[in-house]
Homo-oligomer: A and B are copies of this chain.
Amino acid sequence: MSPRHLSRSEFLALTGLLSGATLWPRGASAATPSTTPVPTGKPATVTPKPSPVSTAALRRSCRAALAPGAPVDPGAELIRIGEWIQSRGLEQDFYGNSAFIEEFEARLAKLLGAEDACFMPTGTMGQLIALRIYADASGNRNVGMHPSSHHVLHENNSHEVLHGLRDVLIAPWNRPVLGSDVRGARESLGTVSVELPVRWLGGQLPTWAQLEDLKRTCRSRGVKLHMDGARLWECQPYYQRSYADICRGFDSVYVSFYKTVGALGGAVLAGKRDFIRSARMWRHRHGGNVFQMLPYVASAAMRLDDALARIPEQVRRAKLLAEALAADERLTVLPRPPPTNMFRVYLRGDPAELSARRDLIAREDKVWVANGFGPTRVPGVSETELQVSDELGDVSEEAAAQAFRKLLSPA
């Protein structure tokens, strides 16, 4: 069975398995539904699931983490944002309207080479809005996407039930969407949405030539091309081009502020002026016009430049860490080398037992080797998502890999 023929239910079964899920209680998260209980067949050996609080405390006690996401002190962070706002004398916004927010949106539009941009409370909202606008304009509700797309895996089918859109899975699971997928699609496509880089493939990217072919193909066929740039920031070192160059040829781009940038939340949708004017109305329709948005926007604005400047070094270290791990034949790393600061590791073991070993390593070595583990379609093989961030600290890549390898030894 080729990866192209993974069934929809198989894809959906993966939604509960995202790295990091064990840190977060209750299942209402946007990108990280909580882990579905995994039957182990060995109830006597199942480690009790640690409470979120104790897991967070254990994690905080570590001097290094191979995957980001340590909870911050939320009060201190708000005070920092408040002082930043005061130091600039910023005015309160009303429903996202203020001179400062307009300036930030203009700054992002310029950075992404777009005519205009609109701040969104979430990427989920921004991307749904983009696809809806294109479908209404063309009358074609088919959206070509990758089977690991956020719409398919992480939004409870909102594109279908809220916007009447149909996802057409045009690429196999195990590589990014290419121009040939669009040319070979068996259904008429109004829009194509591609994630750059592809999170579920460990941050894989099309080559520049492949990306340009995809852009040309969509343009020549009158298919709207949208970018899920949730991690666009992280792929600049691979392409060695400006964000505007990478985005040129896309009709719209979404970027996120709470992941690598580390802001409180929020996203930006960028595109043509008319498109963004329409997107603002749809933000309102989605219930996204939060009364005061300045806390989110300021949090992103004060962090963006620094966060982007640190990415090249993170990508460099990710390559070293990935190779150090891949040197152990019991570990499979995807992709090699990682083009961004993230990658995936596949290893033998049961997710619950691996989590218990992770906690043991955290106690003994003060290294947080993974956020969470999910089962794969290969019996006995689990996966985890690693990503180099500031939280890797000053441990060497070899020492980090050594700590990770302790997952392979029985506790």
Interface residues of A (CB under 8 A from B): 23-26, 28-30, 32, 53, 56, 71-87, 90-99, 102, 120-126, 128, 155-158, 161-163, 258, 264-266, 280-281, 283-296
Contact = CB atoms under 8 A, between A and B. Distances in A.
A30 B291 contact: yes
Given A74-B85, A91-B53, A94-B32, A265 B287 contact: no
A155 B264 CA distance: 26
Given A26-B102, A28-B283, A80-B82, 20 more contacts: A28-B284, A28-B289, A29-B95, A29-B289, A30-B291, A32-B94, A56-B91, A75-B82, A76-B82, A77-B82, A78-B79, A79-B83, A122-B287, A122-B289, A128-B287, A156-B284, A158-B286, A162-B286, A264-B292, A265-B290
Contacts of A56: 91
B28 A78 contact: no
| Residue in A79, A86, A94 whose Cβ sees the most chain B Cβ within 10 Å | A94
A75 to B, nearest CB: 3
A161 B258 CA distance: 30
A84 to B, nearest CB: 8
A350 B282 CA distance: 32
A288 B285 contact: no
A92 B78 contact: no
A37 B232 CA distance: 41
B74 A156 contact: no
Nearest to A29: B95
A294 B121 CA distance: 14
5 contacts: A24-B94, A75-B90, A76-B82, A82-B82, A158-B285
Contact of A85 (B78, B98, B158, B258): B78
Contacts of A122: 287-291
Contacts of A26: 97, 102
Contacts of A78: 78-79, 81-82, 85, 295
A295 B299 CA distance: 12
Given A30-B95, A96-B28, A295-B295, A79 B76 contact: no
